[in-house]
């Protein structure tokens, strides 16, 4: 975990790619948050790439590559989206800190990543249950090991919807 942090802290983001299962009519970008269910790849200006992806073990794991593979899913079932529009306000800022929150003491099952930028913006990447049928966030949004990834750009929305103590 320390090596991962060393390659992220004091660096700037260059690109963010969301990976989503190829559902017809799937909406990724919502008002104040994004949601998708396969993975996120974050590429730093120094060339380092890290990800949070649904891996072969069927839970979300951190990795240090550009990741779009899973033995349970054919490659053509995964679609990659450049998330520039929702991340563009973060690209010219240095990452001051990154915190990884796990549900277990062995640090295997991740539930949240919090990125803090030098301008005090916070980005929360959360593993939670699926959206409601009307594409709204369940309230409260509870942790789900096999759920979806949420990226909260609006910290107030995050604070109102997600309960860290639930599982």
Q: What is the Cα–Cα distance from 22 to 43, expressed in whole angstroms?
A: 22
- Sorted by where each begins, the domain ranges of the chain are 2-161
For 71, the 3-state DSSP assignment is coil
Which pLDDT does position 44 carry in this prediction?
95
Residue partners of 48: CB distance under 8 A and separation at least 6: 7, 8, 11, 64
DSSP-assigned beta bridge partners for residue 99: 114
pLDDT of residue 21: 82
pLDDT value for 133: 87
**Separation of alpha carbons 144 and 49, rounded Å:** 25
Q: pLDDT at position 167, please?
A: 40
Q: What residues in the chain have per-residue pLDDT under 70?
A: 1, 24, 68-69, 163-167
Q: What are the tens digits of pLDDT across the range 88-112?
A: 999 999 999 999 999 999 888 899 9
């Amino acid at each position: 975990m320390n090596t991962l942090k060393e390659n992220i802290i004091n660096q700037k983001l260059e690109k963010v790619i969301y990976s989503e299962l190829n559902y017809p009519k799937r909406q990724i970008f919502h008002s104040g948050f994004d949601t998708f269910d396969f993975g996120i790849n974050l590429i730093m200006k120094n060339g380092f790439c890290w990800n949070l992806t649904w891996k072969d073990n069927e839970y979300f794991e951190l990795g240090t590559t550009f990741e779009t593979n899973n033995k349970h899913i054919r490659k053509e079932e995964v679609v990659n989206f450049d998330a520039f529009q929702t991340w563009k306000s973060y690209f010219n800022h240095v990452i001051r800190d990154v915190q990884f929150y796990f549900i277990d003491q062995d640090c295997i099952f991740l539930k949240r990543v919090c990125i803090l930028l030098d301008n005090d913006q916070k980005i929360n990447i959360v593993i939670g249950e699926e959206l409601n049928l009307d594409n709204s966030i369940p309230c409260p949004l509870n942790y789900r090991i096999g759920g979806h990834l949420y990226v909260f750009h609006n910290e107030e929305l995050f604070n109102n919807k997600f309960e860290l103590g639930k599982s």
